[in-house]
Amino acid sequence: MARPSKTAAIDYAAAHDLTHGLLERAACPDGVAFVLLRDTVKKGLRLRITKAGGKHWQFETRIKGKLFTRALGEWPAVGLDLARK
């Protein structure tokens, strides 16, 4: 499969193999308060991108039927490798 173009629009409905370049160019589209960029490598890991430009890591998991969401920190202070751990 070919690598996507650096200028191609990002499909926020699909999970992506997150890279530093993708995280840098990700931006919230007009008309929504935030979008979530999901990771294909670590299930439940996502980057929340707000209209104001903030990028924050979240991890979501289900334990005994209950949904838990945890904030992991702001990107790039918390890098991709650390967020996946």
Phi first, then psi, for residue 11 (nearest 5°) are -90, 105
Tokens 């998991």, residue?
61
> Which residues of the chain fall below pLDDT 50?
1
- pLDDT for the residue numbered 3: 61
Q: Which of 72, 67, 68 is nearest to 48 (CA)?
A: 72
How much is the pTM?
0.83
Question: Any idea what the Cα angle at residue 66 is, between residues 73 and 50, rounded to 5°?
Answer: 35
Q: What's the per-residue H, E or C state across 30-76? A: CCCCEEEEEECCCCCEEEEEECCCCEEEEEEEEECCEEEEEEEEECC
